[in-house]
């Protein structure tokens, strides 16, 4: 989560759902309200056989690019599962793991485990951005979650980027457009 942001890490999650404890309402995290995502994330954490969240920071994103940093975060999330995965469904990508896997286009809308991972990752990232907002309130990270938005651009214009901004992203590298 957070691939298009100007600020902060990219997050990924891996979830092994328990078929004995299904969770209703799983969907693409972007299609859910924040309240619904938080409710579902709590249910996923309670009912899943295993889940893990991993991230790659802005420095890693700038060093490798957002796609490779995302793939690294996904790999680390799968590796951090307490219950080992024997097959991996991934949203549109493959990851460098010696496990059978299937890349599903729009997987977060088609596969319950990908949807669950999407929800857990988005909630974790949103919570991290809420915490970063306390450190950097001038960028309005609480409302824009690190994406390019007028108040975020205003913070870049007034204060410049922080060490947690993604310098390889054009609005940060070239200076704000606003």
Q: How many alpha carbons fall within 13 Å on the CB side of residue 106?
A: 4
Domain formed by 10-173, architecture: 2-Layer Sandwich (3.30)
pLDDT at 4: 86
- Cα separation, 167 vs 76, in Å, equals 23
Compute CA distances 122 → 32, 125, 128, 154, whole Å. Answer: 11, 5, 10, 25
pLDDT at 176: 52
Q: Strand, helix or coil at 35? A: helix
Provide the pairing of β-strand 88-91 with 50-56.
unpaired
Give the burial string for 116-129 (b: 16+ CB within 10 Å, else e). bbbbbbbbbbbebb
pLDDT tens, the chain, 178 aa long: 667 899 999 999 999 999 999 999 999 999 999 999 999 999 999 999 999 999 999 999 999 999 999 999 999 999 999 999 999 999 999 999 999 999 999 999 999 999 999 999 999 999 999 999 999 999 999 999 999 999 999 999 999 999 999 999 988 988 755 4
Give helix 34-47 / helix 112-135 axis angle, nearest 10°.
120
pLDDT at 178: 43
Instruction: Collect all residues with Cβ–Cβ distance below 8 Å to 150 and sequence separation of at least 6.
Output: 178
Q: Strand, helix or coil at 13? A: strand
């Amino acid at each position: 989560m957070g691939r298009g942001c100007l600020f902060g890490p990219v997050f990924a999650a891996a979830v092994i759902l328990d078929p004995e404890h299904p969770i209703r309402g799983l969907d693409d995290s972007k299609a859910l309200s924040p309240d619904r995502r938080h409710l579902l994330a709590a249910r996923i954490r309670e009912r899943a056989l295993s889940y893990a969240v991993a991230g790659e920071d802005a420095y890693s994103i700038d060093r490798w690019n957002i796609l490779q940093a995302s793939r690294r975060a996904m790999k680390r999330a799968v590796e951090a599962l307490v219950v080992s995965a024997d097959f991996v469904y991934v949203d549109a990508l493959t990851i460098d793991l010696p496990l059978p896997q299937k890349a599903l286009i729009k997987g977060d809308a088609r596969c319950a485990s990908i949807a669950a991972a999407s929800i857990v990752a988005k909630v974790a990232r949103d919570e991290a951005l809420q915490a970063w907002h306390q450190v950097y309130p001038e960028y309005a990270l609480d409302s824009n979650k690190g994406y390019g938005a007028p108040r975020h651009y205003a913070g870049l214009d007034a204060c410049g980027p922080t060490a947690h901004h993604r310098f390889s992203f054009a609005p940060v590298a070239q200076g704000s457009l606003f």
